[in-house]
Amino acid sequence: MINLEISQRHEETFTQVMMLAEHMMRPYSRKYDKAEHTYPAEMEEVNKLISAGRTSATGKPKGSLPEGSVVNGGNMGSVIGLFGLCWGDVGLFLGMPGSGLGNAAITAVGTPEQIKKYGGRYAAMCITEPSTGSDSANISTTAVLDGDDWVLNGEKIYVTDGDRCDTLVVWATLDKSLGKAAIKSFIVEKGTPGCEVTRLEHKMGIRASDTAAISFSDCRIPKENILGSADIATDAEGRKKAFGGVMQTFDNTRPPVAAMAVGVARAALDMARDLLREEGIEVCFDKKPTNSGAIEAELAQLEAEWQAGRLLVLKAAWMADNKMPNSKEASMCKAKAARVGNHITLRCVALCQSLGYSEQHLLEKFARDSKIIDIFEGTQQIQQLIVARRLLEKSSSELK
């Protein structure tokens, strides 16, 4: 049974991460927001400190566990750590070495050998293409087996940390005519001939991280660099099945992305409450909203929305740690947390008026950074569609 109180060791993790966020991330927030595409070298030290404590903080509890025990392990530790890191700065977190979403893909579907070789690398995820937005099934990048190599051709855009990473996880199709069933993911090491970063995007938010376009032109990678099986699965009737192997990646990455929204929303709420307190306005939770002023009542409502998003994230992570299918819950937490995260940051800007809109404080930056969280790793509309399919027990072809 899920416990809504996080464990002591995860509380300790959160406390330590919040200290790093406040003292080693926030001081550089404005600097790297203005110096877009500049590598935040200071974050290497933050990453070292986080990596040093990651095993003890996020691994499984020591000792053997009796059957039926509840596990709060790596997934729970990851989202709790992200609550703190993205309270510090979303862009700086994304610009840290080793924060690439491709690592989650390798962990989700990689072989033990692949995880050993690439698990500690800085891996970015390459999915989106110029003609393919939210419909990941429409991938056009091709992978053709030629002897002992896969040959990749195509273009990927909006690759977070695509320039700084050392490894790419690339979605490609083995046969475009077979649709989703033929889509697989491949590990490509940066520097491989035929793999080239063609441009960096200028963005509204998360400016401390790079967002790249990458082309693949007869890019040859070893045969063993496919994630999962190269076989195109079929159901009992011989029909081609959907790309469940690569989509499993999203079940791993959506809760952490939702946790990013929870973190930046918390940052906006904390800063807004501090600024408003200086003006004599403070939310009092033991009063009914009808007995509060308009601003106090709205702050209370925003706090409730924030808590709902946070609890959905914790549930999805808990299910993953306890080996429960969490595809629906992963999409639910991404949809809720990302939407309310963007709403909360924007309302905090509005409630603080000129102080919220100016660069005197970081509120306006929190609002800019929050928007991308509602877009990448599947838009709001895509998440709602996935949840609807799960609830109604409809396939993607039955409910579009």
| Pick from 332, 342, 328: nearest CA to 375 | 342
Element (H or E) spanning 184, and its range?
strand 183-189
Residue 303: strand, helix, or coil = helix
Cα–Cα nearest to 105, from 184, 207, 181: 184
Burial of 95 (0-12, 13-18, 19+ CB in 10 A): buried
User: And the tokens for 190?
Assistant: 């940066």
CB 312 within 8 A of CB 232: no
Q: Give the residue among 121, 109, 244 at the shortest CA–CA distance from 188.
A: 121
Both structure tokens of 353: 């008026």
Nearest to 76 by CA among 63, 97, 92, 58: 58
Distance of alpha carbon 142 from alpha carbon 300, whole angstroms = 50
Is 377 an annotated catalytic residue? yes
* Gyration radius of the chain's alpha carbons: 21
From the candidates 298, 377, 393, 398, give the one annotated as an active-site residue.
377
Both ends of the chain: CA-CA distance in Å?
34
**Which positions ≥6 away from 381 have C-beta within 8 Å?**
134
Length of the chain: 400
CA distance linking residue 396 with residue 390, whole number of Å: 10
Residue bearing tokens 């599947």: 378
Q: How far is CA 131 from CA 134, 177, 182, 388, in A?
A: 10, 16, 18, 25
Residues 211, 201: Cα–Cα separation, whole Å = 6
Catalytic residues: 377
